[in-house]
Structure 1
């Protein structure tokens, strides 16, 4: 099932390319906030386009929160299924450099609710190019 909106694959690749050195090597200079925000927002929105729905909320503060994954719609209060992480961890997941279950096990990702782990079915969103 296609999502209501799509993410331009060229924009997705460009956003990831801008942060790729930092993803591969944490000691590399952190990308500018605008580059980091673009990479996070683009990949999270790509997830929402690939897994449309409203049963899981994915949060990557301070940049974005989206609802995704087909199922019951949540409209009030705290959602019952939430995945939350920091921007670098999200981008590692989105590019396949980190596995979802491993990130949850070490506490880098908070996945609450019975359906939160379903997000892993759509990861990675893209792979880093081999520079």
Structure 2
């Protein structure tokens, strides 16, 4: 069974946001995916932020094997920018930094997370 992500301590998040070095981006990626997982529980959308993590979120059709009914994939910098409200989902998707497919793949209602 996959290990669940856990939100980071607020002080660690604040420090990581101020620096945004590679190790900080790893912490922030996992932190904000954990927060999304808590706020939008479910298994109908898989949010992938390679190379560090992926979570299944949002109620709906349960996904067990293979490709989920909806997938959102993006890079860590874009994920963090969306999570803290520096960007909108529509803008990031429009310029190709977010690849979203399937029903419920629009995360606008869940962002920002910070």
Name the CA shift for 1:77/1:5 in 2 (closer, same or farther; >3 Å): closer
In the TM superposition, structure 1's runs of 4+ consecutive aligned residues that sit over 6 Å from their partners are none
- 2:47 is the counterpart of 1:49: no
Deviations 1:2-38 (A, max 9, x none): xx98736xx145324313355xxxxxxxx0x322111
Paired position in structure 2 for 1:124? 112
Give the conservation status (yes or no) of the 8 Å contact 1:16–1:39: no
- Say which one has the larger Rg: 1
TM-score (norm 1): 0.77
Provide structure 1 residue ranges, at least 5 long, that are not aligned to the other structure. 23-30, 127-131
TM-score (norm 2): 0.87
Which of 57, 60, 64 is matched with 1:68 structurally? Answer: 57
Give the conservation status (yes or no) of the 8 Å contact 1:57–1:81: yes
Aligned length: 111
**1:1-131 alignment runs, 5 A limit:** 7=7, 11-12=9-10, 14-22=12-20, 31=21, 33-117=22-106, 119-126=107-114
RMSD of aligned C-alpha atoms?
2.0
